Amino acid sequence: MAIINNYVKSLNDINSLQVDKPRLPKSKSYLKIIGIPFFPHANSQERLTLNNIEMILKQNHIFDNISLASKPRVIKVSSKSDMSIVWLDIWDVQSGSNTKMLINRCFNVRNYIVTIRGANINPGIPQCKNCWKWGHTMFSCRIQGARCVKCNGPHKSEHHWEFGWCCKANDKINPPRLETKKGEPCPHSFKCSNCHGNYLADSN
């Protein structure tokens, strides 16, 4: 009798286990959304944020069964443009059915019609560590010398304290500016030299 009870208990233990359902192998696919304004709010310089993008994706049914493989990335089309490109990495099956369903689909974002396009793998837009402009690396930078990531002055960022005008004392202005002590971080704030936002030029 004990042997039978142990056998029944073993069967119950096996049945109680949660067996994963077979899953199709997944891969990443790369998309970009074009046509979304970089400044989404009328008469405002507030830029497009990840929260804005997440809300846009949630509000459009074509993304209902789509899982993002990483956070979306937003870039400005160019320094003189008011439009953006949103890069999306999504999980897909080997056949790429999710990607095929989305590519060339259009949907509305307020008064704009935006389009989904296919994209190559996008590890990120390169940023030059010499002039801090986007779209090229320091090895192909064409400017002579270097630019400071903080004040955009003609010096390397690590030499900001020695050459940055903001960290030098100036008693001719009102109120007078005190010298930043050596070894302390620069306390002054600047706008990005690329888009004039309230952050440094190397901010994501």
What the chain holds in terms of domains, given with CATH numbers, is 26-118 (3.30.70.330), 126-204 (no CATH)
Q: Do residues 186 and 160 lie in contact, with contact meaning Cβ atoms separated by under 8 Å?
A: yes
Give 57-106 pLDDT, tens digit per residue: 999 999 998 999 888 888 888 878 889 999 898 998 877 888 899 999 99
pLDDT of residue 24: 53
11 against 85, higher pLDDT: 85
Q: Do residues 167 and 188 lie in contact, with contact meaning Cβ atoms separated by under 8 Å?
A: yes
Average pLDDT of the residues in 142-158: 88
Query: How would residue 107 be classed by pLDDT, with cut points 50, 70 and 90?
Result: very high
5 pLDDT more than 70: no
User: In this prediction, what percent of the chain has a pLDDT beyond 90?
Assistant: 16
Query: What is the edge-to-edge ordering of all strands in the sheet holding 106-109?
Result: 73-76, 83-93, 26-37, 112-118, 106-109
141 pLDDT more than 70: yes
Average pLDDT of the residues in 139-160: 87
The 3-state DSSP class for residue 90 equals strand
